[in-house]
Amino acid sequence: MHDWRELVQSKLAELPVSPGTKTDVVDELAGHLEEVYEELRRQGMTEELAAQRAMRQVTDWNALQRHIRKAKEREELMHNRVRQLWFPGLLTLILSTGLLPMLLKLGLEPRIVSWSGPETILFYVPWLMTLPLFGALGAYVSLRAGGPARAILLSGVFPVLSLAACFFVILPLSIVLDRSIAFHLTLAGFLGLLLSWIAVPGAALLIGALPIQILHAREANSQRMPGA
Amino acid sequence: MIRAGVKRGTAELAVLSILEDGPLHGYEMARRIEEQTKGALRFTLAALYPMLYCMEQRGWIRGAWETSSSSGRRRRCYRLTPAGKKKLSPLRREWAELFGALQRLTKVSHA
């Protein structure tokens, strides 16, 4: 009895895909070889000859490994991006932005800081204090999914990236569509908005995400230098 | 010598056509293609699976693990997606045109 699974696993040992994908590929190819072998046995071939003929299904295992890697590369990339960036990022965004209206409903009063003349900035201090926690959560979920350093940081600060995108896309669009917005918006007001909705929340999220990213960098370094 | 692109095109058409009749796993797909083309088209494991994975990537087919009720064996069955079904008719037309053109050119015809 041939162990086709073990054979395929050893031949595709260097296949650079995630463990789950590799298991699927190995199981599928081993199943195929097994069926070829069984069919040849049914036709009356000896075990040895049937195994030899089944093995002829692949003449160059390295080439097969290369072709599978090429085919699976994009899938892996997309899958990893979802697990390591989009999911933790959106989780951070939903939790952090969802909390603010809840706090407002509970009677949260913003701290008003006078900025420049009539301009004022609103700081929702209790909400800002929770942001390091969400930043750390997003970074941790990304870390657990095997995310690289950049994905860990981006997942942690994802809410402000979305807000920044809104600012720099929606605001210029609104100005083009409605000239009165440009008339009412001053530079000081715009900078105030940037400070209260992007810079300060971003810093708060970063405070939470940075230690996780440093932890990841330390782990990666210790793995690179096992003797150190 | 048939160019790789032409070979790949025929192979993809064969897989899409065979899956039009219903979901199949890789081995059964290769067996049926060989049977229906009377051995003219043969797929080895090395040729079949990278192509199936590529086609799955493009969204033309979708694979899912299923357990056979008779043998209890776990197999990955592929089925045609709506995108695959959509791809099939223009692909058929292109190949029919190509074969028609080749026939006219080489004056090869059925007796």
Q: Give the residue among B51, B17, B27, B105 at the shortest CA–CA distance from A31.
A: B27
pLDDT value, residue A132: 94
Q: Would the CB atoms of A68 and B50 count as touching at under 8 Å?
A: yes
Say if residue B3's pLDDT is above 60. no
Which tokens hold the place of A36? 């070829």
Q: Is the dihedral of CA A150, A151, A157, A161 positive or negative?
A: positive
Does B100 contact chain A (CB < 8 Å)?
A: no
Q: Would the CB atoms of B46 and A71 count as touching at under 8 Å?
A: no
pLDDT value, residue A140: 93
- Host H or E run for residue B88: helix B82-106
pLDDT value, residue A162: 87
Q: Would the CB atoms of A74 and B45 count as touching at under 8 Å?
A: no
- DSSP assigned state of A96: H
pLDDT value, residue B2: 46
pLDDT value, residue A16: 85
d(CA B89, CA A161) in angstroms, rounded, equals: 44
pLDDT value, residue B109: 58
Q: ipTM higher than 0.90?
A: no
| Residue B104, CA atoms < 13 Å, CB-side half-sphere | 5
Give the closest-approach CA distance of B75 to chain A in angstroms. 7
pLDDT value, residue A227: 44
Rounded percentage of chain B residues whose pLDDT exceeds 70: 89
**Between B79 and A77, the higher pLDDT residue:** B79
Q: Is the dihedral of CA A43, A44, A47, A51 positive or negative?
A: negative
pLDDT digits (tens, 9 = 90+) for B9-59: 788 999 999 999 999 999 999 999 999 989 888 899 999 999 999 999 888
**Between A81 and B78, the higher pLDDT residue:** B78
Pick among A7, A15, A26, A32 to test the B interface (most B CBs inside 10 A) = A32
- Closest residue in chain A to residue B42, using alpha carbons only: A57
Q: Would the CB atoms of A68 and B46 count as touching at under 8 Å?
A: no
Q: Would the CB atoms of A24 and B53 count as touching at under 8 Å?
A: no
Does A29 contact chain B (CB < 8 Å)?
A: yes
Q: What is the pLDDT along chain A (228 residues), one digit of tens a residue?
A: 689 999 999 999 988 888 888 999 999 999 999 999 999 999 999 999 999 999 999 999 999 999 999 888 777 777 778 888 999 999 999 999 898 888 888 887 777 777 666 667 778 888 899 999 999 999 999 988 878 888 999 999 999 998 888 878 877 777 777 766 666 667 777 788 788 888 999 999 999 999 998 888 887 677 555 443
Q: Would the CB atoms of A71 and B27 count as touching at under 8 Å?
A: no
In the three-class reduction of DSSP (H, G, I as helix; E, B as strand; rest coil), residue B61 is classed as: strand
pLDDT value, residue B110: 55
Does B29 contact chain A (CB < 8 Å)?
A: no
Does A25 contact chain B (CB < 8 Å)?
A: yes
CB contacts of B65 in chain A (<8 Å) are 24
pLDDT value, residue B30: 95
Does A23 contact chain B (CB < 8 Å)?
A: no
- Closest residue in chain B to residue A21, using alpha carbons only: B53
Give the closest-approach CA distance of B106 to chain A in angstroms. 34
CB contacts of A72 in chain B (<8 Å) are 53
Say if residue B1's pLDDT is above 90. no
Q: Would the CB atoms of A71 and B74 count as touching at under 8 Å?
A: no
Q: Would the CB atoms of B50 and A64 count as touching at under 8 Å?
A: yes
